[in-house]
Amino acid sequence: MADATTTGEPHEREQLPNIGPVGLPGPDSRFRQELLRTTSSLVTNLYELYRVHPAIWRWTARHFRPGMATFARLNAWMICQRANLDVPAYQHHLREQGFRFRWWRLDAFPETDKQAYVTRYSEDERAWNGAMDIVGTVVDESSGSSGTPFNWVRGRDELRTIHSNVAGYITLLFGSKRLFGINAFSMGAWATGTNTGLALSKVAMVKNTGPDLDKIIDTIRHFGPRFVYLVSAYPPFLKHLRDRLDAEPWFDWERYDLNGFVGGEAMTEGLRDYLEVRFGRVYSGYGASDLTIGMAGESDVAVWLRRSILADDRVRRALLGDDESRTPMVFQYNPLETYLETNERGELVVTLNSTAVMSPKLRYNIGDEARLIDFPAARDAIAEHAPDLLRAFNRAFAVQRMKLPFVLLFGRKDSTISYIGANLYPIDIENGLYRDNPHASAIESFKLALLEVGEHEQRPLVHLQLREGAAGALDAEARASLAERAREGVVAHLASVSRDFAQSLDEDPTTGDLRIEVHDYGTGPFAGGSSKIKNVYLVEQAQAGHAGEGGAGAGALADVPAGGGARGAAAELGRSGGAAANTGEPASQLQSSANASVAPGAAEAE
């Protein structure tokens, strides 16, 4: 049942046999079917009402109640059951999983994911009634671990829904008065950038420059300070823009109002502080090509929570428990649009709550690890465990006044890290390490991290562990050669298998500044050995403090200094153990998702 668009092979095979709905025995089955079709259509039409105007979207976000989440769960159940009636691929998936109908039981439906569902069935088979809409449908592309692109189809109605939701969010955070969107996301491999521009155009004037500093500088200079600029970009690119504008003799930050929203990878609080010295507001968002852009986004209160988790152990324990040392990204999301669950492994499971989604996403496991907490529960936790901070929580909430629940996102469960919009998979790193490397036989294993390199920029860091006994055979020159050949091999392999990485490398040569550190066997992040059968590919927080110790690196490795950020008490308090520059965040910040998409920053709506 391989899908031609995900395998690269021509799509020539028979259609799936029509097996009909699964798990609906009894004489009332047809009545149930028609009732479910009618009810789900009515709910979808009701949802359309609050997309009519961004003001209605803002009202919904500000008046959200926990009971509305119960309704959202009921609608997710109806969407799954409607797909059981009308989506051929889902019918086959349910039959294989032994599904039995259960009234109102969303967890009765098995999870779907990319490998077990998307790659097995064609786009038509995954669409309503077994056929895609053609006119108005747009295809987005993302790269998988094999480098073979995945194609994601979105119909006209679905795109209209996406753009309306993002537009409502933008106006809530930035207003709409004289808003000028500069879309600096890649217009090539990461096709989600195109949708960002279209969504912005509903509430702003837009120029799609792509990540081209010269074009952006020329645009700002031409149109002058009479607009409120909103620049969408990868986090490192926004820093490059800030630095470039600082160097422009004609540009005066006091006369211009520039804001930013970022996606594609996690943003550290140190980088946010650095940017907001010049920019008005800079916020990030969460989404995925598999699902949709703008699944969740930051707000003032979400950023406050993240900073407080970094700065105050009481908040960390209240929200994450006693044993969690990682610091997640914190977003707010709307269950009416995107219903989120977590399974027993702590993985995020997503259902898009609309029949407008041409290829419905049904309890879809994207592979991200997360925790969910509703707004009242988060506020009550602060009141109970850190009552002196409740006033600060309320002040942050008062900016946008969104009562939406929070998703605390730790990142990929599959050892993937995201960097400049591209996913770096362990299998591709491994292939690159052994690519034309005369010292490959000396490598025992490796681990990945994201390293703060100074100036609030991050670079991928690959820790290499030498085989036991190999250290004596490699002098300093040989170690340096091993690191450099490994770096060259990884960059070349990533450029050959990942269109996202290749596009970023073409647009910004610093993308190839991947760092390598060589460690003797059982030292650095490999200290203590491992009794696990499978390799662990990510550096844990407790190990991150070893970064920069005892290894030869490809390129100059900047020290990771301790210290405080520039804004607020939460930024000023660091945490011990593997702290990244200015933020107290672990060097292996891994909160990004596959092709994470956009969501803008914070400002009162006009």
Q: What is the mean pLDDT of the chain?
A: 80
pLDDT band at 25 (very low <50, low <70, confident <90, very high): low
Interstrand relation of 138-143 and 149-154 (parallel, antiparallel or unpaired): antiparallel
Is the pLDDT at 541 greater than 70, yes or no? no
Query: Which has the higher per-residue pLDDT, 505 or 553?
Result: 505
What pLDDT, on a 0 to 100 scale, did the predictor assign at position 389? 95
Where on the phi/psi map is residue 367: left (φ > 0), alpha (ψ -120 to 50), or beta?
A: left
pLDDT digits (tens, 9 = 90+) for 65-96: 988 999 999 989 999 999 999 999 999 999 99
Output the six-digit token pair for 484. Answer: 């450099």
Q: Of 523, 505, 497, 514, nearest to 445 (Cα)? A: 523
Whether the per-residue pLDDT at 499 is higher than 80: the answer is no
The model's pLDDT over 335-368, given as tens digits with 9 standing for 90+, comes to 999 999 999 999 999 999 988 899 999 999 988 9
Residue 212 has pLDDT above 80, yes or no: yes
* Chain position carrying tokens 């946008």: 400
Q: What is the mean pLDDT of residues 545-568?
A: 29
| Confidence label for 14 from pLDDT (cuts 50, 70 and 90) | low
Residue 545, pLDDT score: 37
Per-residue model confidence (pLDDT) at position 158: 87
Q: Which two tokens stand for residue 127?
A: 């669409």
Q: Please determine, looking at this structure, whether the domain spanning 419-572 carries the CATH number 3.30.300.30.
A: yes
The better pLDDT of the pair 101, 455 is held by 101
Distant-in-sequence, close-in-space partners of 295: CB < 8 Å, separation ≥ 6: 285, 286, 287, 288, 333, 338, 350, 597
Is residue 421 predicted with pLDDT exceeding 50?
A: yes
- The residues near 109 (Cβ < 8 Å, ≥ 6 apart) are 77, 80, 81, 94, 99, 362, 363
Residue 44: exposed, middle, or buried by beta-carbon count in 10 A (0-12, 13-18, 19+)?
Answer: buried
Q: What is the pLDDT of residue 525?
A: 87
pLDDT tens-digit readout, 163-177: 888 888 888 888 888
Phi, psi of 364 (to 5 degrees): -90, 125
Query: Is the predicted pLDDT of residue 424 greater than 90, yes or no?
Result: no
pLDDT band at 493 (very low <50, low <70, confident <90, very high): confident
Mean pLDDT of 382-405: 95
* Closest by Cα among 548, 572, 573, 543 to 560: 548
Poorest-confidence range of 9-23, 140-154, 255-269, 446-460? 9-23
Q: Check residue 257 and give its pLDDT.
A: 96
What's the mean pLDDT in 556-560?
A: 25
What's residue 494's pLDDT?
Answer: 87
Give domain limits for the chain.
419-572
Q: pLDDT tens for residues 459-490?
A: 899 999 898 888 788 888 989 999 999 999 99
Does the pLDDT value for residue 223 go beyond 60? Answer: yes
Confidence bin at 561 (pLDDT 50/70/90): very low
* Model confidence at 137: pLDDT above 80: yes
pLDDT band at 191; cut points 50, 70, 90: low
| Cβ-proximal residues to 526 (8 Å cutoff; 6+ apart), any chain | 445, 447, 463, 465, 519
Asked whether residue 213 carries a pLDDT value surpassing 70, the answer given is yes
CB 452 within 8 A of CB 587: yes
Residue 187 predicted with pLDDT over 50: yes
Question: Where does the pLDDT of residue 308 fall: very low under 50, low under 70, confident under 90, or very high at 90 and above?
Answer: very high
Contact 295, 338 (CB under 8 A): yes
For the segment 146-159, what is each residue's pLDDT rounded down to a tens digit?
456 788 889 898 88
The CA–CA distances, whole Å, from 496 to 50, 146, 264, 415, 513 equal 44, 10, 20, 21, 16
C-alpha distance from residue 532 to each of 443, 528, 537, 575 (Å): 18, 12, 12, 29
Of 112 and 584, the one with more pLDDT: 112
AA identity, residue 402: M
Contact predicate 132/358, CB 8 Å: yes
The whole-number pLDDT of residue 12 equals 52
Which runs of consecutive H residues, i.e. helices, occur in 347-402? Answer: 375-385, 390-400
In this prediction, residue 90 carries a pLDDT of 96
- State both tokens at 506: 């073409």
- Tokens 């970064």 belong to which residue? 547
Q: What is the C-alpha separation between 354 and 484, in angstroms, rounded? A: 50
Confidence band for 244, pLDDT divided at 50, 70 and 90 = very high
